[in-house]
């Protein structure tokens, strides 16, 4: 299982992004893909901001995001995930969104096992926290 954060997924769309090809190759794998349900909001926001002066490009990017997420298992942000995210934010000094993504990966690791799960992110702070929590991390930009 590959658990995605927003930075890695949006990089798949943006060809000029460092690590684009590597991230896209992971997206094309037949592995099970998962993410926090928050990825839809955060990805939509990212694309809307990047393309704020070109509504057609913004709509195209957001449509691409929604199309990709059809194949994903999206994990709801429930009280368990929020509680874990809060602890991660305190322990590692993570931003809220980053803590949500790592908390989601940890919840899924309880289900599928840590050996069967990879967490993919471009965010260095988030990657360090995920490593500290014993997750297997992929940094496509490395």
CB 104 within 8 A of CB 3: yes
Neighbours of 92 (CB within 10 A): 17
Q: Dihedral of the CA atoms 118, 116, 32, 132 (nearest 10)?
A: -20
**Cα–Cα–Cα angle for 90, 94, 98, nearest 5°?**
130
CATH number of the domain bearing residue 53: 3.40.50.1010
At residue 140, the pLDDT reads: 76
| Residue span of the structural domain in which 97 resides | 2-138
At residue 16, the pLDDT reads: 65
- The pTM of the whole model exceeds 0.85: yes
Separation of alpha carbons 12 and 28, rounded Å: 10
Structure tokens at 66: 């929604």
Total of domains in the chain? 1
Strand partners, 73: 34
Average pLDDT, consecutive stretches of 10 residues, N- to C-terminus, the chain (142 residues): 95 80 88 96 96 94 96 96 98 97 97 94 94 92 66
52: left (phi over 0), alpha (psi -120 to 50) or beta: alpha
């Amino acid at each position: 299982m590959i658990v995605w954060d927003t930075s890695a997924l949006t990089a798949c769309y943006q060809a000029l992004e460092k690590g684009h090809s590597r991230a896209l190759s992971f997206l094309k794998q037949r592995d099970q893909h998962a993410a926090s349900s928050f990825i839809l909001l955060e990805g939509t926001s990212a694309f809307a901001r990047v393309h704020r002066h070109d509504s057609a490009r913004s709509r195209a990017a957001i449509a691409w995001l929604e199309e990709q997420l059809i194949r994903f298992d999206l994990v709801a942000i429930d009280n368990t995930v929020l509680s874990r995210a809060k602890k991660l934010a305190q322990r590692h000094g993570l931003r809220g969104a980053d803590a949500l993504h790592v908390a989601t990966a940890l919840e899924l690791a309880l289900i599928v096992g840590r050996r069967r799960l990879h967490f993919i992110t471009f965010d260095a702070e988030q990657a360090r926290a995920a490593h500290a929590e014993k997750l297997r991390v992929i940094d496509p930009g490395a």
